[in-house]
């Protein structure tokens, strides 16, 4: 757990499987030990379990061995989240930013880029692997609907805003998102984020709204275009 010395936040992701540690070294279980180490280091912890996991019945618990019973008791604690992945991602991003702002660590994270991705919920599931790939290069905030791009950018100074297009989008949805991007561009002008469309490869609708400076990214192989632009802080 040496990496905890450089961490702002510990996120524990639980499935039905569990680790079987050395009982003498970790009498309460490895996951519980990790949680304790983070708390002692003053690091906030987010715990999440797959929402598809069902709480075992009393009859099932009686058949568990010690490790299995300990694991399921842990993952069904009240503080363990079971929200959908996009909501978990937003929560992690918000808490990580808050931890940085509070200055819990003496090390300062520099040049962190933030990206707002507008996507339908179905499309997030369809392209989760692709969209999560960009998370390694920028702190991403996923939004399905709700506040407009202008409201979101005004509240949080994003470096980029990307809208995902695929067969899960209606033309009306695409048109509305284009209007949002254009409105944001007119509102913030040169002080605002860069803007991009991401065609996941299955969009068959009308061409989306374009304007000077907006990027059109087609397929996973072109995501590096946006990553490079985010790194430079401007559209290329």
Phi, psi of 59 (to 5 degrees): -65, -40
What range defines the domain where residue 49 resides?
Answer: 2-101
Both 95 and 118 in a single domain?
no
- State whether 82 and 125 are in the same domain: no
Last residue of one domain, picked from the residues 61, 79, 101: 101
How many Cα neighbours within 13 Å face the side chain of 226?
Answer: 36
- Is 218 contained in some domain? yes
- Tell me what pLDDT residue 235 has: 41
Domain containing residue 190: CATH number: 3.40.50.2300
Please state the φ and ψ torsions of residue 89, each to the nearest 5 degrees.
-60, -45
**Same domain, residue pair 201 and 143:** yes
Q: How far is CA 75 from CA 36, 53, 70, 87, 170, in A?
A: 15, 10, 9, 18, 38
**pLDDT of the residue at 197:** 92
State whether 135 and 92 are in the same domain. Answer: no
How far from 167 is each of 179, 203, 204, CA to CA, in Å? 19, 5, 7
Specify if 108 maps to a domain: no
Q: Residue 156 has what pLDDT?
A: 82
Q: Is residue 109 part of a domain?
A: no
Mean pLDDT by 10 residues, the chain (236 residues): 67 78 64 82 87 89 85 89 84 76 45 76 71 71 80 85 85 89 89 87 82 85 78 55
**Whether residues 70 and 128 fall in one domain:** no
Number of domains composing the chain? 2
Can you give the C-alpha Rg of the chain in angstroms?
21
- pLDDT given at position 96: 76
Asked, for residue 107, whether it belongs to a domain, the answer is: no
Residue 106 belongs to some domain of the structure? no
Q: Give yes or no for a contact between 44 and 95, defined as CB atoms under 8 angstroms apart.
A: yes
**Do 120 and 223 fall within a single domain?**
yes
């Amino acid at each position: 757990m040496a990496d905890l010395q450089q961490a702002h936040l510990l996120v524990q992701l639980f499935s039905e499987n569990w680790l079987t540690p050395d009982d003498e070294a970790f009498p309460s279980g490895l996951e519980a030990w990790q949680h304790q180490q983070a708390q002692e280091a003053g690091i906030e912890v987010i715990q999440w379990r797959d929402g598809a996991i069902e709480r075992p019945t009393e009859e099932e618990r009686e058949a568990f061995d010690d490790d299995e019973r300990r694991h399921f008791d842990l993952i069904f604690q009240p503080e363990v989240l079971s929200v959908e992945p996009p909501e978990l991602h937003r929560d992690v991003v918000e808490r990580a930013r808050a931890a940085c702002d509070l200055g819990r660590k003496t090390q300062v994270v520099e040049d962190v880029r933030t990206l707002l991705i507008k996507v339908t919920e179905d499309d997030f599931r369809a392209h989760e692997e692709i969209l999560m790939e960009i998370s390694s290069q920028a702190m991403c905030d996923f939004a399905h609907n709700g506040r407009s791009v202008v409201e979101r950018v005004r509240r949080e100074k994003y470096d980029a805003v990307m809208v995902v297009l695929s067969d899960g989008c209606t033309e009306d949805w695409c048109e509305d998102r284009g209007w949002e991007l254009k409105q944001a561009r007119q509102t913030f002008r040169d002080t605002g984020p860069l803007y991009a469309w991401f065609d996941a490869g299955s969009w068959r609708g009308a061409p989306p709204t374009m304007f000077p400076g907006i990027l059109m990214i087609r397929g996973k192989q072109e995501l590096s275009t946006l990553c490079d632009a985010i790194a430079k802080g401007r559209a290329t």
